[in-house]
Amino acid sequence: MEHFSRQRQVLATGGLAVQWLPLHQLSPEGLRTVIATFARAFPHVSLWWGTLSGSLPVVGLIGSENPLPVSPTLFREKFRSLAPGLAAVGWNSPACVLSSFIAADGDLRAFSAGIGLNTDDLPRTEFDSPKVEIMGRRHVAQNLKDLSLLGKDSQIYFFPQDSVLFIKSVEFSRTRRLLIQALSLRASGDSAGAAALLKGFRPVRECADLTP
């Protein structure tokens, strides 16, 4: 808690704080603990997929003093300026980037409601490691499953529903959720269930990291 609070204190105007969370190193309770602590420190928080994988999945928390100021025009301009670097990690279109959105603010606080905070006096996450070892791969499957059901489509937070970017983002977001559910099944050992879920799955070619 103290670390996140300090981050907020030193943010420049319009600045963002980012905390990466390796889901393979956190139990479901540990994940909620970090989210609850981060959401207590920052007025506005959002959660995004980083690495979408059945074995080493990573998500990123973004914290800010004010809501993210996004418009379709500004977003496209920023995307063009960062396009080479984003393409290197498989984000080949603005809609693909938006499809990485998981949830924000109220949804995240509801997801982590009733969970104790991680503080210097009570470092709960340090005691989370034994749980991860005991659970084996089950914690990865559970984390993926929980997050696949969390939040709403990213577009409703940013753009008008009649925009082209909105429509594409809806498709990518729903496709990504289907893939995450399949990865969760695979991580739990249900390869047959994962295969059945992805039967007829058509990867969105503009978004390379959606390919199973």
Per-residue confidence (pLDDT) for residue 63, from 0 to 100? 95
Contact 115, 38 (CB under 8 A): no
| Contact criterion met (CB below 8 Å) for 179 and 212 | yes
Predicted TM-score of the model (pTM) = 0.80
What is the structure's pLDDT at 41?
95
Structure tokens at 157: 């937070």
- Nearest Cα neighbor of 95 from 35, 29, 166 is 166
User: For residues 45 and 34, is the Cβ–Cβ distance under 8 A?
Assistant: no
Spatial neighbors of 175 by CB under 8 A, at least 6 apart, are 99, 201, 203, 204, 207, 210
Tokens in use for 44? Answer: 């506005």
User: What is the pLDDT at residue 101?
Assistant: 82
The β-bridge partners of 22 are 58
Cβ neighbors of 191 (< 8 A, separation 6 or more) are: 185
> What's the CA gap between 148 and 190, in Å, rounded?
17
What sections of the chain are H helices per DSSP?
2-10, 28-41, 72-88, 94-98, 105-111, 129-135, 138-148, 164-187, 191-197
Residue-level pLDDT at 3: 87
Q: Is 27 within 8 Å of 134 (Cβ atoms)?
A: no
pLDDT of residue 158: 57
Q: For the chain, which residues score pLDDT lower than 50?
A: 153-156, 203-212
Give pLDDT, residue 208. Answer: 38
Q: What are phi and psi of 158, to 5 degrees?
A: -125, -45
* 51 Cβ neighbours under 8 A, 6+ residues apart: 57, 58
Cβ 157 vs Cβ 174: under 8 Å = no
Instruction: Give the chain's count of helices (H) and strands (E).
Output: 9, 4
